[in-house]
């Protein structure tokens, strides 16, 4: 008989794509996911899974390159850099209009009510609104107004919502923490994909239906104009998007040096690594807070299986890395479940 699993999917920006790989590995091993609770990207992936549309969502996000992600950015000048209507509009197309109580398994999305300063659980009502509210990352996505309440990312109060599934009476609680700091053996896999510019150029040439020289020149000019417009859009939002180029690498850690400051844990603090912009500063601060809160949640309600995804594998907003993050989630889940199953045998 299949073991019934209560699945908890944590928040962590783009790293939330790893949840898809985790779900695939859990199902591959014959476990039955009987309920799901999620926060932020965990709420999005969990909601789409509960609606039975995860394959369609995966196909869409794996098709996005860097320029596609920029095209989905709808600039806002109020309470967030991005309105999110393009991104969540596409998610609405995939999932359709459905209420939480009509999903095939119980589902909880966690958001934060800034007005009343409290945690909100969505367990009924519009699935789309629940996902959008839970994923309203402060400074990145604009908040969701619901009556007199302003709703933002649930990660402000509960980045790993284990409590909603405690009463589910499942055989196992599996929690996926996207803010781990101690999984140094894992690296983001390298997946070869055609450069965005070349791919768009080839597609545009084919759409013109001719290989005549003047046609190729016209296609190249059109593509250059598109790329320049998208880059200008990114610059208008904030320099943090400019710093998220696909080829950008995190600075290497500096060697130990005499007199370098140490943290409370004794590790050396690197003084040449820091946020590139105000939004980057806010997001890094948000992640530090989530990391600490997640540890408290794990200590208070230890799950049967904890799958730790290291937060250093990608930056909070690198949403063009879906194939790599899905593969990484599957790898970490496989290793974690191997250890659990060997202990049970």
**Closest to 19 measured CA to CA, from 43, 3, 35:** 43
Spatial neighbors of 114 by CB under 8 A, at least 6 apart, are 143, 149, 150, 151, 152
d(CA 201, CA 208): 11
Would residue 280 show up in a list of annotated catalytic residues for this protein? no
Check if the beta carbon of residue 231 is closer than 8 Å to that of residue 243.
no
Would residue 207 show up in a list of annotated catalytic residues for this protein? no
Check if the beta carbon of residue 153 is closer than 8 Å to that of residue 11.
yes
Would you say the C-alpha torsion 230, 151, 107, 174 has a positive or negative sign? Answer: positive
Q: Which is catalytic among the residues 11, 40, 180, 334?
A: 40
β-strands 149-153, 107-113 pairing: antiparallel
**Closest to 276 measured CA to CA, from 309, 255, 251, 252:** 251
d(CA 310, CA 105): 28
Spatial neighbors of 65 by CB under 8 A, at least 6 apart, are 193, 196, 199, 320
| Cα 154 to Cα 131, 163, 181, 309, distances in angstroms | 10, 13, 21, 19
d(CA 294, CA 57): 27
Q: Which is catalytic among the residues 153, 180, 280, 334?
A: 153
**DSSP three-state, residue 177:** strand
DSSP string, 186-235: --PPP-----HHHHHHHHHHHHHT---HHHHHHHHHHHHHHHHHHHHHHH
Instruction: State the catalytic residues.
Output: 40, 153
């Amino acid at each position: 008989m299949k073991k019934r699993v209560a699945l908890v999917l944590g928040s962590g920006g783009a790293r939330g794509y790893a949840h898809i790989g985790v779900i695939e590995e859990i199902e591959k091993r014959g476990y039955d996911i009987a309920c799901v609770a999620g926060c932020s990207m965990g709420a999005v992936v969990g909601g789409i899974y509960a609606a039975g549309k995860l394959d369609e969502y995966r196909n869409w996000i794996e098709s996005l390159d860097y320029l596609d992600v920029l095209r989905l950015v709808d600039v806002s000048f109020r309470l967030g850099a991005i309105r999110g209507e393009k991104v969540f509009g596409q998610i609405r197309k995939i999932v359709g209009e459905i209420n939480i109580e009509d999903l095939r398994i119980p589902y909880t999305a966690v958001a934060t009510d800034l007005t009343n300063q409290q945690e909100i659980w969505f367990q009924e009502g519009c699935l789309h609104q629940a996902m959008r509210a839970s994923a309203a990352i402060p400074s990145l996505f604009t908040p969701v107004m619901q009556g007199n309440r302003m709703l933002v990312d649930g990660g402000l109060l509960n980045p790993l919502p284990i409590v909603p599934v405690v009463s589910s009476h499942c055989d196992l609680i599996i929690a996926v923490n996207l803010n781990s700091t101690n999984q140094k053996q894992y690296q983001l896999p390298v997946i070869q994909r055609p450069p965005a510019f070349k791919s768009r150029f080839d597609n545009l040439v084919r759409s013109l239906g001719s290989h005549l020289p003047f046609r190729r020149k016209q296609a190249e000019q059109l593509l250059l104009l598109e790329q320049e417009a998208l880059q200008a859009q990114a610059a208008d939002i904030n320099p943090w998007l400019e710093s998220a180029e696909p080829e950008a690498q995190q600075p290497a850690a500096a060697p130990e040096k005499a007199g370098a400051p140490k943290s409370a844990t004794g590790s050396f603090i690197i003084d040449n690594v820091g946020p590139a912009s105000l939004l980057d500063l806010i997001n890094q601060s948000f992640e530090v807070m989530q990391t600490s809160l997640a540890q408290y949640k794990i200590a208070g309600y230890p799950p049967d299986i904890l799958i730790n995804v290291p937060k250093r594998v990608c930056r909070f907003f690198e949403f063009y890395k879906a194939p790599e993050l899905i593969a990484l989630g599957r790898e970490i889940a496989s290793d974690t479940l191997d250890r659990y199953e060997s202990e049970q045998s």
